[in-house]
Structure formats: structure tokens, C-alpha cells
Amino acid sequence: MPLNHIFKNSVVKGTLILTIAGLISKLMGFYYKIFLSGVIGAEGIGLYQLVFPITGIAMAVCSMGIENAISRFCAKEKDKAGILTAGLIMSLSLAFVTSYIIYHNAAFIAKRLLLNENAGSLVLVISVSIPFACLHQCICGYYYGTGDAKVPAVSQLFEQFARVGSVLAITFFLNKNSLPVTPVIAVAGIVAGEITSGLFCLLCATVGQHFRPVFRNIKPHIRDITGMALPISCNRILLTLLQSGEAILIPAQLTVSGMSSFDALSAYGVLTGMAMSFIAFPATITQSAAVMLLPSVSKAQSSDNSGMISRTISTSIEMALAMGIFCIGGFITYGAPFGALIFHNNLVADFMRVLAWLCPFLYINTTLTGILNGLGKTGYTFVCGIISTLMRIAFIIFLIPSYKITGYMWGLLVSQCFLTGAYVIFLLRLYHFSFSPVRAIVVPVLSLAVALCGSVIACILALSMAVPYIFCLIAGACAAALIYCGLLFIFIAVSLDTLYSKKDNKGDVSNILKGWLYQ
């Protein structure tokens, strides 16, 4: 049966597992952000978001390149225990040193680098999470390399449960004792989540996989991991430094535009902590696919299977486009007013109507980045990432003073468009994959138009019957999604029927399905 064949594929199976876990985690995180916005406010959310550049730089130094190397080598070599041992030694050594430096320089980092003294306590607390985060990432890289996504998926859920649960418990304790609730609680939640997920992954590796550190002949593994991880880490460090500068510059430039420090931090918090939470929600699917595509494409490249790589590229682009096109209409029509309602902030709706146009480009870029990294083209993705970040920084410096936060959102859109074009042109030169504009763009756009018209009419009728507005929005979004998916499914069925007829009823349905998906 075709479905059995599809679900036996490690990439599809792993993507589904990670997507389900990611959606549950994102849903929890979504309501968690709503809770946080009510407890610490938009300014507190902005302050909370401000410390992420520090962890981003720390993880770039300690684990990003190493995790990719572990995943790639575990997909190719038999001595997986030796590879993981070497990776853990390297990553944890860097993590403890980095954590110590950040912990003892928290006040300086907050004042001189983040340009906000109030972030000092947050930097102090978050430094504790770095070794556990590295442990978590390295073991997840091991599992991705073996094609097993179950443990990373479950660890993601444990991390979110621990994060949300600990913050709720701390908030309850503080309120009960009439103590102030500050953004520090959100950072404490991150620490609790990383500790929980890191220890869970270690337990699974030692008990479930019977992993034991292997120190014999470990030097070749350290050398191999270093050879691959060093350029990736250096690239990620430079890219993360630029992205960190980008995040720090936004509130600073907003004050140049005439906004107060409070309003600037609040606008930054609404954009990054509220509006982007909606836009990033569907990206769970493409992020999961990208993680599983890296070792899969690496295997295909090592066996010189260029046909499989070409099919993977074209299918990834078409699926990301179909999802992104729906998200444009869904976010503009339903997501924007829904976000304004639940966050009690009209800025969320204004931001989402602009950010919605990012979706197709953002989702395509996520999957193509995973493919390019799997092909070993990390240098190219790095250069493109640098150019993209510099473009956004230019928009921050030159347009925010005149157009405020809207100028930055324009920069986001332009930079994502650039990345999509650069990735697609580069991959076309390598593999000459096929692409159907009708199937990938025209059909989804027409399906979206029908879906939105039908769902909006249903919403208007529901409102006339005094159904609460928020329920109308939820029902309308669900109806639009069902109609959209149904129309795409009908198109696939019609295409299959046509292909089947062309085969004079002698073709294998499984092959026909593959032919339609990969042409």
C-alpha cells in the first residue's frame, strides 16, 4: 500500500513525530506567552526576549556545529557511541567555560552589550541552562543521525511541560506571598526546561540505547567532528553576533524614532514575543522536516543518488508553498484579530498583517537550509545568512527612525525573499530539479480564495446568530483549513486519475503518486 510505504520512510516518519510534538509544544508555548503577557506585560516580554541573543551566541559556540557533525557522522558511521562521546566531551567542556564567563559578567553584559541594566538578573539566571542545553542538543543530534525522532520529540514536550509548570508554580508562590512577579520567572522556566530535557535525553541514551562513553580510539572522532563543526560554529557565531546586534538595535533605534524606552521595549516585545509566535506556529512542520532532511540528504549524496535529492528539493518547495500561501490568508483574515483579542493589544493585529507575507518564504527557507546543510553547503548558507542579516540591520538603521517598527518588518520580508531566491537558484544549478507553478502556486491560491470566501460567509452567519466573536474566528479558521486541504486533496485525486488513465490502467498507484509528487 502506498501509505504504508510513505510512513515507513524515516524522513516522513521522523517529520511527523517531530511535527506532532512540536505542535503540542508550540500550543503550550502559545498559551504560555498569553499568560506571561498578562503577568509581566509587554515591556517584560521585551526584556525577556532581549536575553536570547546571549544564549544564541553561547549555543553557537558550544553546540550548534557539534550537533550537526554528530548527526551527520552517526548517519554514516558504525561507531555511534564513540562519535557521541567525542561530541559530548567537546560540547560540555565549552559549555561549562561559557556558562562561567556569562555568570560572572552578567551585569557588564546587560549594561554594555544589551544596553539595558535591568536584564542583568535575567542573564545571570539563564547562564545556568547552557550545559544542559548542550547535553540535550548533542544527544538529539545522535538520535537524528540514527533516524529516530521519538526521543527528541518527547524531550521537547518534557522541556515545555517543565518550563510552563515551573513558571506557574513560581508565580503562584510569589502571588501567595505578595511578592513582585518579574521577567526573571520566565528565564527560570527556561532553566527548568533545559535541565529536564537534558537529563531525560541522557537517561534515554544510557538506558534505552545502552549508551556508554567510549574513550578508546576517540581522537579520530574528535578530529572529524572538529573538522566539520569548526567552520559551522565559526559561521554560526558570526551570524549569531550579527543577529544579536540586530535584536539589540531594534529597541535602541525605536527610541531614536521618538518613542520612550518603555514604549520601544513594549513594541519589541509585541513583535517578537506575541506576533511572531503566531507566524512561527506552522513553521514547526518545516523545522521538523529540515531536521530529518539533513541526515537523509547526506546519505543520498554519499550514495550519489541525485534523483532522490532533486525529488526532495521540489517536493519540499511545493509543500512549503502550499502551507505558506494558506497561512497568508489565514493570518490576515483570522489570525490578526484573534491575536489582538487574546493579547489585548491591537499592535499584534497590525504586525501580523505585515508578517503574514513572510510565511511562504520563511517556510521554504527553513526546509532548503536543512537540505543545503545535508549536502555540506554550510558555507553558502552562512554567506546568504550574513547578507540577509546585514540587509535587516540596514533597514533597522535607516528606516526605523522614520517608519518605526514597520521599517523593520519590511526588512524581514526583503531579506527572506532574498534568501529564497539565493537558495533556489543555487540548488537549480546543482540538481536541475523540476517545479510546477500551476501545482505549487495557482492551485493553492485558487483553493485559498474559495476557502476564505466560504469560511467568511459562515462566520458572518454565525455572528448574525449572536455567536461570540472569538468562537467565530476559531471556527472560521478551522473551516478555511478544512476547505483548503479538501480542495488540494481533490486536485491530487484528479491528477492521480489522469495519470492512471495515461498508464492505460497498468501503472502502479504507488509509482503514480510518486510521479505526481516528484515531477
Residue 284 lies inside a defined structural domain of this protein: no
pLDDT above 90 as % of the chain: 36
Contact 206, 71 (CB under 8 A): no
At residue 202, does pLDDT exceed 60? yes
Domain count, the chain: 1
pLDDT, tens only, 26-69? 778 777 888 888 889 888 888 898 898 899 899 989 988 899 88
pLDDT, tens only, 459-490? 888 888 888 898 899 889 999 999 998 998 88
Q: How far apart are CA 467 and CA 298, in angstroms?
A: 52
Neighbours of 402 (CB within 10 A): 9
pLDDT, mean of residues 155-161: 91
DSSP 271: I
Residue 432 lies inside a defined structural domain of this protein: no
Q: How far apart are CA 443 and CA 387, in angstroms?
A: 33
Between CA 423 and CA 431, with CA 428 as vertex, the angle to 5 degrees is 120
Residue 495 lies inside a defined structural domain of this protein: no
At residue 288, does pLDDT exceed 90? no
Residue 199 lies inside a defined structural domain of this protein: yes
**Nine cell digits for residue 35:** 499568560
pLDDT, tens only, 232-259? 788 778 878 888 888 889 988 998 988 9
Residue 85 lies inside a defined structural domain of this protein: yes
Average pLDDT, the chain: 84
Longest dimension (CA), the chain: 77
Q: How far apart are CA 262 and CA 264, in angstroms?
A: 5
For the question of whether the overall pTM of this predicted structure is more than 0.75, the answer is no
Taking the CA atoms of 377, 70, 146 and 59 in sequence, report the sign of the dihedral they define.
negative
At residue 224, does pLDDT exceed 70? yes
In the prediction, which pLDDT does 218 show?
Answer: 83
Residue type, 318: E
At residue 11, does pLDDT exceed 60? no
Between these two residues, 374 and 500, which has the higher pLDDT value?
Answer: 374
Residue 346 lies inside a defined structural domain of this protein: no
H or E element at residue 388: helix 378-403
Per-residue confidence at 217, pLDDT binned at 50, 70, 90? confident
Residue 509 lies inside a defined structural domain of this protein: no
At residue 334, does pLDDT exceed 70? yes
What residue numbers bound the domain in which 177 lies?
A: 53-245
DSSP conformation letters of 192-225 = HHHHHHHHHHHHIIIIIS------TT-HHHHHHH
For residue 24, the number of C-alpha atoms closer than 13 Å in the C-beta half-sphere is 14
Displacement of CA 179 from its chain's centroid (Å): 35
Helix boundaries (H) for 270-377:
276-280, 283-302, 306-330, 336-343, 346-355, 359-374
Between CA 313 and CA 505, with CA 3 as vertex, the angle to 5 degrees is 90
Contact 153, 21 (CB under 8 A): yes
Residue 104 lies inside a defined structural domain of this protein: yes
pLDDT, mean of residues 82-88: 90
In the prediction, which pLDDT does 432 show?
Answer: 78
Contact 231, 378 (CB under 8 A): yes
pLDDT, tens only, 89-122? 999 999 999 999 999 999 999 988 888 888 999 9
